[in-house]
Amino acid sequence: MVARMLFVELPNKEDLKKLSQSLAMLDAILCPEFDLRRSFFDSNWRNGEQLATMKDGSGNEYFTYFNEYGFIIKGFDHESEMSPVNNDEKVWQGVLDEVPKEFESFLQEKAFEVEYTTFCLWRLDSDGVWKTGKIEYPEGDETADDSDWLLFLLDGKPETYQDWAQNYYEEDIDLDTVKQIYAHEPLTEQMVKTLNPNRVIADSKEDIKDIGYPIV
């Protein structure tokens, strides 16, 4: 799936950063329990770098790292045919082989467990296009990395989030408010109350700061 998405579906750096912030902000409002959220964003992760994280609670995850040179996404699906579990505990050949030196510090970070990777793609600001390593997929099946369902919320469509969130949180989610947050409109008490009647902006003060989401 990654190869098909490179030039078609994934947003550019700034749009992906804003989308990642929006996903994290929506989850923070809808789900006070930090450990039960799916999306997270650290606007000052390290020396001005930013980090977006998705964890589905079942061991599947992806990290998006932004620095001054560009950005990179590393993901892991434990049921993928390309999982190290199915490959003698080794990352599938080609997945990480051509990652630029500008992202080496990210891959060396122990917290990201680079040994557990089923897909990786990156985009240097100087290139302007998404890239991956030269990968021979199992039986030529480009969907074998399972990136399609892990990255599905990155399609940029508020309706996609609404549909997912209503199933995940088992609550009605107001689409207009989701659209406002996707558009990065400054957060208001009304927006918070519409999404979660039991929350006010003050409840999300730390989340707003960490995510770097705009507020009225």
Q: Would you list the domain boundaries of the chain?
A: 2-211
> Given this model, what pLDDT does residue 69 score?
95
Distance CA 57, CA 211 (A): 20
| pLDDT for residue 5 | 57
Q: What is the pLDDT of residues 109-142, one digit of tens each?
A: 988 888 999 999 999 999 878 899 998 888 877 8
Contact present, 20 and 41 (Cβ < 8 Å)? yes
Please state, rounded to an integer, the average pLDDT across all residues of the chain. 91
